[in-house]
Amino acid sequence: MSFLRRRKATERPHAEPHDIDTETDDVHDKKKTKPRPKLRPKRWSCVDTCYWLIGCIFSAWWFLLFLFSAMPASFPQYVTEAITGPLPDPPGVKLKKEGLTAMHPVVFVPGIVTGGLELWEGHQCAEGLFRKRLWGGTFGELYKRPLCWAEHMSLDNETGLDPSGIRVRPVSGLVAADYFAPGYFVWAVLIANLARIGYEEKTMYMAAYDWRLSFQNTEVRDQTLSRIKSNIELLVATNGGNKVVVIPHSMGVLYFLHFMKWVEAPAPMGGGGGSDWCAKHIKAVMNIGAPFLGVPKAVAGLFSIEAKDIAVARAFAPGVLDKDVFGLQTLRHMMRMTRTWDSTMSMIPKGGDTIWGSLDWSPEGYFNCSAKRLKNNDINTADKNGNGSLESTKRVNYGRIISFGKDIAEIHSHEIERVDFRGAAKGNNLTNATKCDVWTEYQEMGIEGVKSVADYKVYTAGSILDLLRYVAPKLMARGDAHFSYGIADNLDDPKYDHYKYWSNPLETKLPNAPDMEIYTMYGVGVPTERAYVYKLTPAAECYIPFQIDTSAEGGSEGSCLKGGVFSVDGDETVPVLSSGFMCAKGWRGKTRFNPSGIRTYIREYDHAPPANLLEGRGTQSGAHVDIMGNFALIEDIIRVAAGATGEDLGGDRVYSDIFKWSEKINLQL
């Protein structure tokens, strides 16, 4: 480098005398030589320095890149093993040594937001994105053209189907949800382990669907349910009559519940499979992180697009949906987009006050949050019930899913003055809708409406529905046509033949399949959102008028209130109550929800955070998505897929208080 520069410097003295000579020549020559740039004095020249610098940087970069690609694939693992000692065998390898082989075909049903979506037809701004992933993958387009992206991800506000000129469709095949983003596995670990004992494409099937649509609309628009039915029939037929093991995750659990009703229902509305279809084709349904009775997070998501981590979407894509992407109006853009997604409404808490608690009572009433924190550190989970003693904790009113102000959340119910919001007039527009680029339904509510909502003070699971119907009438009108959140008094009522009840376990009977097994597998030991403290936003134009009051803190060490959110035991997204209740009580034995007495098993996995960074997301995690890499869970699944029954696995495996809480729930069975 230095050599070259020096040589240039020595050239200049030669050039200068030459120029002086030519000046004495005639005018033509002078004209020619005048614009010669070499006359310039020694100046700092970019050509010399910058290019050299850039060159060096690039060569170094290429060299590093070369080293990286030359690195053997097992290098990271080698480093990990050097630090932490040898890793345990992945469950697939271990069980293969035990002699397990592929037996029952496996069907995966991905949950909300984890499935990829790709573009099939778009507006001008989406040119070049044909069959590229809009959702999942790198989310590159989100940064490049955020508004275009949001436009294409939205559905029609009235029909809940495609807007005109836009077709966004689910990616199909195992690639649909094996990785959500590069390096962020969802199903990949499970698939890899199943492959070890002999599974492959012909014995595994990813039932990918468009998770933005309501469940019945996936059939109306894409015939997804028909495709799943046909694929399961094919799997059974081509694998020697072995029934399938279905593994739904998160919202996929509800989707598959819907499917089981759909497939046996007669043809115009259902799939016409006949009343023994499930008995003939399904061996077991192994629900992972099941939100059977909904999740409180969905309420915060719908109400103000925020929850501890901006509801469901942010929970899965941390960092991706940061506020800076859309500018300041992120949340409102997000809200407009997610409010067109009918599926979010399938996760609203079901069963009302009976399940989720009333103003003064809740099944989890005396849950001790500090016990949980202790447990995270030392894995000794032996006796948890002793920790949660009455004296050490203040009772938490979990039943009040939304309260305005921290004090309201804690005082006794007869001290609260409530003003019914339902009659309140909506007039008096908060602001001129045209002034804001982003339009949400809050603009139509007007200042009166907002105030009356806050005046009602406290909302339980039952009144939440009225609240949502008030603040988002269009959304709920669409949602009420596709989902129902109640409890059936009489399951034989012919009205329950309608598809809107099919995804609610409290309003449907399980199919008549006495040999089928239902597992619910979920993580415990992670604080999970259960109730919220809200406040009114300082009135700004064009803004969501409600906000979680992040200043509301519980105070003492053992308090469950933190940053405006009351938490209970769960898997970070779904509270134990929602994932466990149906298997612990609602379907246990022969009940009215389970007339044929399908056996149910609860398998809980205690959360243990990864020991160090190199472990990635851990092999003993209990978090909602990370649990898919939990070795114990994978082992359970592989054993069942290879032919074991729930008894062979060891029946129930419970760490939480789910049985105690279930007993407190007064539901006619």
Partner 1 sequence: MKCWRRRRTRGRVLESPGTRLKHEGLTALHPVVLVPGIVTGGLELWEGRPCSEGLFRKRLWGGSFAEIFKRPMCWLEHLSLHNETGLDPPGIRVRAVPGLVAADYFAPGYFVWAVLIENLAKIGYEGKNLHMAAYDWRLSFQNTEIRDQALSRLKSKIELMYVTNGYKKVVVVPHSMGVIYFLHFLKWVESPPPMGGGGGPGWCAKHIKAIMNIGPAFLGVPKAVSNIFSAESKEVAFIRAMAPSVLDSEILGLQTLEHLMRVSRTWDSTISLLPKGGETIWGNLDWSPEDGHGCDFVKKGQPSMSDNNLNSSNGRSCFQVKDPVKYGRMISFGKAASQLPSSQLPTHDSKEFLHTSASTNFNSSCGEVWTEYDEMSRESIRKISENKAYTARTLFDLLRSVAPKMMRRAENHFSHGISENLDDPKYAHYKYWSNPLETKLPDAPDMEIYCLYGVGIPTERAYVYKLAPSDKCKNIPFRIDSSADGDAGSGLKSGVYFVDGDESVPVLSAGFMCAKGWRGRTRFNPSGMATYIREYRHKRPASLLEGRGTESGAHVDIMGNVALIEDILRVAAGATGAEIGGDRIYSDIIRMSERINLRI
Nearer to partner 1 among residue 240 and residue 494 (C-beta)? 240
The answer to whether 121 contacts partner 1 (rule: CB under 8 A) is: yes
Q: Which stretch binds partner 1 (CB under 8 A): 187-195, 376-384, 538-546, 559-567?
A: 187-195
Nearer to partner 1 among residue 62 and residue 120 (C-beta)? 120
33, 94, 157, 222: residue in contact with partner 1 (rule CB under 8 A): 222
Nearer to partner 1 among residue 102 and residue 577 (C-beta)? 102
- Hey, what are 252's tokens? 């996929």
Nearer to partner 1 among residue 129 and residue 251 (C-beta)? 129
**Min CB(75)–partner 1 separation in Å:** 10
Nearest partner of 352 among 243, 556, 504, judged by Cα = 504
Q: Which stretch binds partner 1 (CB under 8 A): 47-55, 191-199, 535-543, 654-662?
A: 191-199
The answer to whether 274 contacts partner 1 (rule: CB under 8 A) is: no
Q: Concatenated DSSP letters for 575-629?
A: BHHHHHHIIIIISSSS-SSSTT--EEEEEEEE----SSGGGTT-SS--STTGGGG
> Which residue in the list 571, 606, 626, 636 is annotated as catalytic?
571
101, 238, 275, 537: residue in contact with partner 1 (rule CB under 8 A): 238
**Min CB(176)–partner 1 separation in Å:** 9
3-state secondary structure 448-491: HHHHHHHHCCEECHHHHHHHHHHHCHHHHHHHHCCCCCCCCCCC
Report how far apart, in Å, the C-alpha atoms of 85 and of each of 78, 97, 575 are: 10, 22, 35
Q: Which stretch binds partner 1 (CB under 8 A): 79-87, 128-136, 473-481, 655-663?
A: 128-136
CB 474 within 8 Å of CB 158: yes
Through-space distance between the first and last CA atoms of the chain, rounded to whole angstroms: 84
Write each residue from 131 to 170 as x if it is in contact with partner 1 (CB under 8 A), else as -, in one continuous string.
Answer: x-----------------------------------x-xx
Nearer to partner 1 among residue 352 and residue 629 (C-beta)? 629
| Catalytic site includes residue 333 | no
**Min CB(262)–partner 1 separation in Å:** 14
Q: Which stretch binds partner 1 (CB under 8 A): 193-201, 300-308, 311-319, 627-635?
A: 193-201
Backbone angles phi, psi at 249, to 5 degrees: -130, 135
Strands 244-248 and 282-288: parallel
Q: Which stretch binds partner 1 (CB under 8 A): 233-241, 303-311, 462-470, 647-655?
A: 233-241
Nearer to partner 1 among residue 59 and residue 77 (C-beta)? 77
Nearer to partner 1 among residue 127 and residue 557 (C-beta)? 127
Q: Which residues contact 556 (CB under 8 A, 6 or more apart)?
A: none
CB 458 within 8 Å of CB 359: yes
- Residue entry with tokens 């808490």: 349
Nearer to partner 1 among residue 196 and residue 333 (C-beta)? 196
| Catalytic site includes residue 636 | no
**Min CB(247)–partner 1 separation in Å:** 18
The answer to whether 647 contacts partner 1 (rule: CB under 8 A) is: no
The answer to whether 234 contacts partner 1 (rule: CB under 8 A) is: yes
| Catalytic site includes residue 607 | no
CB 156 within 8 Å of CB 475: no
**Min CB(500)–partner 1 separation in Å:** 22
173, 318, 514, 651: residue in contact with partner 1 (rule CB under 8 A): 173
**Min CB(189)–partner 1 separation in Å:** 11
Nearer to partner 1 among residue 173 and residue 514 (C-beta)? 173
Alpha helix stretches (DSSP H) within 268-426: 277-281, 296-304, 311-316, 330-338, 352-356, 369-377, 406-410
The answer to whether 97 contacts partner 1 (rule: CB under 8 A) is: no
Q: Which stretch binds partner 1 (CB under 8 A): 148-156, 200-208, 329-337, 555-563?
A: 200-208
202, 474, 590, 664: residue in contact with partner 1 (rule CB under 8 A): 202
Q: Is 92 helix (H, G, I), strand (E, B) or coil?
A: helix
- Residue entry with tokens 């699944």: 637
What distance lies between CA 592 and its chain's CA centroid?
Answer: 31
CB 428 within 8 Å of CB 447: yes
Chain positions 33 to 92 lying near partner 1, rule: CB under 8 A, are 73-74
> Which residue in the list 214, 250, 362, 662 is annotated as catalytic?
250
**Min CB(150)–partner 1 separation in Å:** 22
Nearer to partner 1 among residue 121 and residue 663 (C-beta)? 121
Helices and strands of the chain, counted as H and E runs = 25, 17
The answer to whether 127 contacts partner 1 (rule: CB under 8 A) is: yes
**Min CB(162)–partner 1 separation in Å:** 10
Query: Nearest 5 degrees, angle CA 426-CA 472-CA 332?
Result: 105
- Hey, what are 462's tokens? 């039952």
- Hey, what are 159's tokens? 């029909």
Q: Can you say whether the dihedral through the CA atoms of 644, 650, 654, 659 is positive or negative?
A: positive
- Rounded to an integer, what distance in angstroms lies between the CA atom of residue 443 and that of residue 440? 6
The answer to whether 237 contacts partner 1 (rule: CB under 8 A) is: yes
Q: Cα-Cα-Cα-Cα dihedral of 383, 388, 390, 394, to 10°?
A: 170
Tell me whether residue 551 is exposed, middle or buried, using C-beta atoms within 10 angstroms of its C-beta: 0 to 12, 13 to 18, 19 or more: exposed
656 residue type, one letter: S
157, 226, 376, 512: residue in contact with partner 1 (rule CB under 8 A): 226
Active site residues: 250, 571, 624
Binding site for partner 1 (CB under 8 A): 73-74, 120-121, 127-128, 130-131, 167, 169-170, 172-175, 178, 191-192, 195-196, 198, 200-202, 222-223, 226-227, 230-231, 233-234, 237-238
